[in-house]
Amino acid sequence: MGQKLFFIDFEFSMPDTNLIAQGFYPEIIEAGIVVVEEKEVVHTFSSYVAPAAFPKLTERCKRFLKITQKQVDEGLPFAELIHLLAKLNGTDEHTIITWGNMDMKVLRRNCEEENLSFPLKGRFIDLSMEYKNFFGDRNQTGLWKAVQEYGKEGIGRHHRALDDALTTYHIYNLVEKDKTYMKKSKPPTIGDRVDFSKLLNRMA
């Protein structure tokens, strides 16, 4: 089995003042996964996930993510999501790509809280940092702003997990294409930069 690229996006629950006082931590409430092998999408997955520790969504969360309480109540149990990720990963090490570092941080925390083994292994890439370093930006850029800076549009709707995972894959391809171009492009020589005929005419 060849190495695969996993593009993963999670949406998380959000606290209000009361929940913060109760020791709130964010839980995954929607998962989007895109699996790529040899530059072809071979699998996609999308599901709401039922939060366990703080099952009732805050009004802020529902408003921001446009997710309803009914959708998460009917979502996958978190343990089933972990089983699915472990099955997709298999025994090989793959490359896991996210936009930002929060997806893996929250996944690890949720696994710890549920006493479940972390299901992914391999190389982890925060594409937002690669984008920042490649373009020399001072600050990290949001996913959809980054793709718009390429003159493109995101796929589907922002803050839908699968749409964001597909948009991450989209911008990954754009960045990789630019990296390839930069490697192939030779730096110009001084002869490329200076028109010697004009220079000689001035000296004549």
Catalytic residues: 11, 159
6 in helix, strand or coil? Answer: strand
Both tokens of 166, joined, read 């597909």
Q: Is 23 exposed, middle or buried (0-12, 13-18, 19+ CB in 10 A)?
A: exposed
- Walk across the sheet containing 5-12 and list its strands: 76-77, 40-50, 28-37, 5-12, 94-98, 122-126
Contacts of 115 (CB under 8 A, 6+ apart): none
Tokens representing 153 are 């549009």
Nearest residue to 9 (alpha-carbon basis) of 53, 57, 44: 44
Q: Is the dihedral of CA 107, 108, 113, 115 positive or negative?
A: positive
